[in-house]
């Protein structure tokens, strides 16, 4: 008899039923059980059959599973009379929690098959698809430990659940029209299909609807309807930040956007992220969905309810094939997940709220992915990806890394696994702090991690620093503070499983430096234990606090003469005089090397964007402008101050702003490569890691990687861990472990 232990993503993906099927096919007797951290099989049969069984185990495993290791032992035979799935037994060890999985093709087909008993059931799922993390209370993954425990199975569902030949054998969220959760309109007496029909009518007429999904509520409206989008913008106080669009199908996406094969693979994957795609001009999507930029965030329906909204067989004609689907959260707060908050947050401006009675236990916003050089570049890693761990060697001390203040995610580490959480949000808001605390507790329970170290940012006034200090004291464990840009570089090392020293280039908006100034254009020689700040972009003065982070003209004024600023009309005379006063009197001034602010200043000089209404707006618009140029020229500058001066003189000479924007990107890439080449000569390090939110700029990232390769340097970039502050927690965890005991 063989004792087989299978490690990896093997829970909640139909693994036990799969094992049961291949056992039957190969005349194997024995058992299979979830052990919390792995699946354990006892298999008894003829030698030939056992070999075939083992081969099938490796080669035919369910699409959604990921086998990381198989351990096999020989044991004496026992008296098995058949092969069966035995109850889960809980054991400690590495734990793999499956992310939520988009509805599969088979379930989608059944959903619209009038002869199927789950015809039009908004919660249809099977062992290959459906919610996982967001409905999970504890491991191992079994129905009574999910929010589906409120819905006892009917006889027909129970039969499928217990039948090894069924696609729903052992599928924990299995349910149907008779026994499953139900959708309903909040505050109105409409349920089920009536509610869906009603919502379709409202959306077709240009209304706004809040819709409960897998990981939280969305706000939806017709993406082709300018007035509807405008109303949504006013209600959300979100003047220009792009909205994501859910398209009915790939055809609708292709009509509006350019879609490469690599992008298509991710867009239509089981994770179904939002993918940023190049817009095609002359499309039907309203101009105010993603104004001033050349990209559109597109995704496909990933729940049965989404599919029903687009395709419900009613008499309604001309239902939009593209809907805005933006996270339903009050400004600054985390995504809304329950009815009471939905009424409070959306009741006054939504024309309907479509909810359901399956509880969301952990929030998961949609993941957002861009592409650089046809490789993924994760912007927000959440639904579909979290909490899949990444593997990184080194010390195995259990750590809680609390992450940064903006785009917060946190990371729990155990053994060689780093588990980054779903997206939490901006922790400047106290409501977000509460959600962060609750999410940490839930993830700690799920993953059974008792941190022996807590890590956080170096910033003394971050809410996350205060929370980390509090948690470390409560747990009575050491607190490790990690410099922001150091953490960025280490997150890139971890994602690339790179253990040696690197030249790290961390370019972002802002981070607290170890000298108390603002950093953000840093060249760090580092490994997991320590860093040397080897070089920076040219320092400038940031005056005016928060305003200087939103208004690029304020940064520009600290680098040019006020007469010039007037000539370029960077702001009104009074505003310029006020800012000049702050600079001259050194009021509210701090030295800064923020690369993000340098982009803001250039965008202001070129008249592309003077004031950002959301983080990164000026840089995104500058990139969009640069991408309209085909000019290949670039200059060789010893400092970024000289490069900036050249941009100013080109502007004064009246040169084409598209070409100048492109010239700025290309010259900055050359500058980075030159600095790295010098540092490589000095240190003999041949690998450069690019991190920080500025490298989400696909044009800059691509040009920089090319320039570095030309100088014979290897380049590490982010793919599935965000280059922005959403990835910080991973780098913090890496450093905290490296310096512990």
Which residues form the interface with Zn ion (CB under 5 A)?
104, 107, 126, 128-129, 154, 157, 176, 178-179
Euclidean distance between CA atoms 274 and 382, whole angstroms: 11
- Report, in Å, the least distance between residue 107 CB and Zn ion: 3
Shortest distance in whole angstroms from residue 558 CB to Zn ion? 57
Shortest distance, CB of residue 263 to Zn ion, whole angstroms? 24
For residue 426, give Cα distances in angstroms to 329, 399, 694, 725.
12, 22, 18, 10
Crossing angle for the helix pair 698-710 and 617-626, to the nearest 10 degrees: 60
Distance in angstroms (rounded) separating the CA atoms of residues 555 and 367: 32
Please say which residue, 176 or 669, places its beta carbon nearer to Zn ion: 176
Q: Considering beta carbons, is residue 63 or 178 the nearer one to Zn ion?
A: 178
Question: Please, which residue, 310 or 371, has the CB nearer to Zn ion?
Answer: 310
**Please, which residue, 86 or 156, has the CB nearer to Zn ion?**
156
Cβ closest to Zn ion, residue 124 vs residue 734 = 124
- Burial of 177 from C-beta contacts in 10 A (0-12 / 13-18 / 19+): middle
CB of 117 to Zn ion, least distance (A): 8
**CB of residue 118 to Zn ion, shortest distance in Å:** 8
Residue 487: its H or E element: helix 484-495
Give the start-end residues of each E strand in 337-398.
Answer: 352-356, 368-372, 375-380, 389-391
Task: Write the DSSP string, 140-202.
Answer: S--GGGBGGGGSPPPHHHHHHHH-TTSTTTT-TT---TTTS--EEETTSS-BHHHHHHHHHHH
Q: Which is nearer to Zn ion, 160 or 405 (CB)?
A: 160
Q: Which is nearer to Zn ion, 129 or 541 (CB)?
A: 129
Q: Considering beta carbons, is residue 178 or 561 the nearer one to Zn ion?
A: 178
Q: Which is nearer to Zn ion, 89 or 109 (CB)?
A: 109
102 touches 126 (CB < 8 A) = no
- Altogether, the residues listed in the chain come to a count of 741
* 103/502 with CB nearer Zn ion: 103
Residue 65 C-beta: closest distance to Zn ion, Å: 14
Closer Cβ to Zn ion, 128 or 736, answer by number: 128
- Is the separation of the CB atoms in 53 and 28 below 8 Å? yes
Question: Could you tell me the smallest distance in angstroms from the CB atom of residue 153 to Zn ion?
Answer: 6
Match 């209600």 to its residue by tokens.
235
Q: Are 723 and 377 in contact (CB under 8 A)?
A: yes
| DSSP state for residue 658 in the 8-state scheme | H
Helix axes 617-626, 657-683, angle to 10 degrees: 100
Smaller CB separation from Zn ion, 78 or 159: 159
Min dist. Cβ of residue 133 to Zn ion (A)? 17
Q: Which two tokens stand for residue 130?
A: 């459906």
For the bound state, the minimum distance from the C-beta of residue 101 to Zn ion, rounded and expressed in Å, comes to: 8
Taking the C-alpha atoms of residue 668 and residue 505, their distance in angstroms, rounded to an integer, is 12
Strand partners, 295: 278
Q: How many CB atoms lie within 10 A of CB 149?
A: 14
Task: Provide the minimum distance between the beta carbon of 396 and Zn ion in the complex, in angstroms, as a whole number.
Answer: 36
Q: Which is nearer to Zn ion, 179 or 204 (CB)?
A: 179
In the bound complex, what is the minimum distance in angstroms from residue 155's beta carbon to Zn ion? 8
| Nearest-angstrom CA–CA distance, 9 and 67 | 6
Please check whether residue 497 is in contact with residue 511, taking contact to mean a CB–CB distance below 8 angstroms: no
Smaller CB distance to Zn ion: residue 154 or 343? Answer: 154
Give the C-alpha separation, 361 to 334, whole Å.
14
Nearer to Zn ion, 21 or 580 (CB): 21
Between 159 and 532, CB nearer to Zn ion: 159
Strand spans (E) along 570-681: 589-592
The CB-of-283 to Zn ion minimum distance in angstroms stands at: 32
How many helices (H) and strands (E) the chain has is answered by 23, 29
Burial label for 681, CB within 10 Å (0-12, 13-18, 19+), is exposed
- Residue 268 Cβ vs Zn ion, minimum distance, rounded to whole Å: 15
Cβ-Cβ contacts under 8 Å for 561 (sequence gap 6 or more): none
Q: How far is the CB of 159 from Zn ion (least distance, A)?
A: 9
Task: Tell me the closest approach of the beta carbon of residue 103 to Zn ion, in angstroms.
Answer: 6
3-state secondary structure 413-477: EECCEEEECCCCECCCCHHHHHHHHHHHHHHHHHHCCCCCEEEEECCCCCHHHHHHHHHHHHHCC
Output the six-digit token pair for 522.
């840093």
CA angle 703, 709, 711 (to 5 degrees): 110
DSSP class of 694: G
Minimum Å distance from CB 273 to Zn ion?
A: 19
Q: Is residue 674 a contact partner of residue 708, using CB atoms and an 8 Å limit?
A: no
Q: Which is nearer to Zn ion, 128 or 489 (CB)?
A: 128
Residue 174 CB, shortest distance to Zn ion, in Å, is 7
DSSP annotation of 129 reads B
| Closest C-alpha among 459, 456, 463 to residue 428 | 463
Q: Where are the beta strands (DSSP E) in 551-599?
A: 589-592
Q: Which is nearer to Zn ion, 62 or 635 (CB)?
A: 62
**Closest approach of Cβ 341 to Zn ion, in Å?**
29
Q: Could you give phi then psi for residue 372, rounded to 5 degrees? A: -125, 125
CA neighbor of 384 nearest in space, from 104, 162, 624, 98:
98
Helix (H) or strand (E) holding 307: helix 304-311
d(CA 298, CA 252): 10
């Amino acid at each position: 008899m063989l004792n087989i232990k299978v490690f990896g993503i093997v829970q909640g993906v139909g693994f036990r039923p799969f094992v049961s099927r291949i056992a039957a096919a190969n005349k194997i007797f024995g058992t299979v059980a979830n052990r919390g951290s792995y699946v354990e099989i006892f298999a008894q049969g003829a030698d030939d059959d056992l070999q075939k069984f083992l081969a099938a185990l490796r080669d035919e495993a369910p699409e959604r599973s990921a086998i990381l290791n198989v351990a096999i032992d020989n044991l004496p035979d026992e008296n098995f009379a058949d092969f069966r799935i035995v109850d889960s037994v809980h054991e400690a060890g590495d734990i793999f929690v499956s992310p939520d999985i988009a509805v599969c093709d088979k379930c989608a087909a059944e959903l619209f098959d009038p002869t199927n008993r789950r015809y039009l059931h908004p919660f249809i799922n099977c062992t290959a698809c459906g919610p996982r993390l967001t409905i999970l209370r504890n491991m191992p993954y079994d129905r009574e430990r999910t929010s589906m425990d409120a819905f006892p199975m009917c006889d027909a569902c129970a039969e499928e659940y217990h039948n090894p030949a069924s696609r729903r054998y052992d599928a924990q969220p299995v349910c149907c029209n008779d026994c499953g959760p139900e959708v309903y309109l909040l505050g109105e007496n409409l349920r089920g299909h009536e509610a869906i029909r009603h919502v379709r009518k409202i959306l077709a007429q240009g209304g706004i609807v809040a819709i409960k999904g897998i990981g939280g509520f969305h706000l939806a409206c017709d993406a082709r309807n300018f007035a509807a989008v405008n109303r949504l913008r006013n209600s959300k106080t979100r003047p220009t930040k792009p909205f994501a669009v859910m398209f009915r199908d790939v055809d609708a996406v292709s009509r509006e956007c350019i879609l490469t094969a690599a992008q298509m693979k991710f867009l239509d994957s089981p994770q179904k992220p939002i993918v940023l795609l190049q817009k095609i001009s002359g499309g039907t999507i309203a101009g105010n969905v993603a104004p001033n930029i050349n990209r559109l965030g597109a995704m496909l329906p990933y729940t049965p309810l989404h599919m029903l909204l687009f395709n419900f067989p009613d008499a309604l004609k001309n239902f939009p094939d593209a809907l805005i689907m933006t996270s339903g959260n009050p400004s600054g707060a985390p995504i809304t997940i329950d009815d009471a908050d939905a009424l409070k947050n959306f009741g006054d401006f939504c024309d309907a709220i479509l909810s359901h009675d399956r509880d969301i236990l952990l929030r998961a916003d949609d993941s957002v992915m861009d592409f650089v050089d046809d490789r993924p570049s994760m912007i927000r890693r959440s639904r579909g990806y979290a909490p899949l761990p990444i593997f990184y060697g080194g010390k195995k001390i259990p750590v809680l890394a609390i992450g940064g203040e903006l785009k917060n995610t946190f990371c729990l580490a155990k053994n060689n696994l780093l588990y980054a959480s779903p997206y939490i949000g901006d922790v400047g808001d106290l409501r977000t702090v509460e959600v962060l605390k609750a999410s940490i507790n839930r993830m700690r329970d799920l993953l059974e991690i008792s941190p022996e170290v807590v890590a956080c940012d170096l910033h003394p006034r971050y809410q996350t620093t205060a929370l980390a200090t509090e948690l470390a004291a409560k747990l009575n464990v050491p607190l490790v503070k990690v410099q922001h840009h150091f953490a960025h570089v280490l997150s890139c090392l971890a994602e690339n499983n790179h253990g040696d020293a690197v030249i790290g280039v961390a370019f972002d908006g802002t981070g607290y430096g170890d000298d108390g100034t603002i950093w953000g254009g840093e060249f760090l020689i580092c490994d997991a234990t320590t860093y040397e700040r080897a070089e920076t972009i040219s320092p400038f003065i940031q005056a005016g606090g928060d305003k200087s982070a939103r208004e690029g003209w304020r940064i520009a004024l600290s680098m040019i003469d006020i007469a010039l600023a007037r000539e370029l009309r960077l702001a009104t005379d009074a505003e310029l005089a006020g800012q000049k006063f702050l600079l001259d009197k050194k009021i509210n001034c701090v030295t800064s090397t923020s690369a993000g602010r340098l982009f803001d200043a250039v965008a202001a000089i070129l008249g592309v964007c003077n004031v950002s209404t959301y983080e990164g707006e000026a840089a995104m618009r500058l990139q969009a402008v640069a991408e309209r140029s085909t000019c290949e020229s670039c200059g060789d500058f010893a400092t970024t101050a000289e490069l900036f001066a050249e941009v100013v003189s080109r502007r004064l000479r009246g040169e084409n702003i598209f070409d100048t924007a492109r010239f700025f990107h290309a010259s900055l890439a050359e500058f980075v490569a030159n600095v790295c080449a010098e540092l490589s000569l000095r240190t003999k390090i041949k690998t450069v890691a690019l991190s920080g939110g500025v490298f989400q700029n696909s044009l800059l990232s691509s040009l920089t990687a090319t320039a570095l390769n030309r100088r014979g340097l290897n380049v590490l970039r982010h793919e599935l861990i965000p280059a922005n502050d959403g990835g910080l927690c991973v780098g913090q965890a890496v450093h905290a472990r490296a310096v512990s005991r």
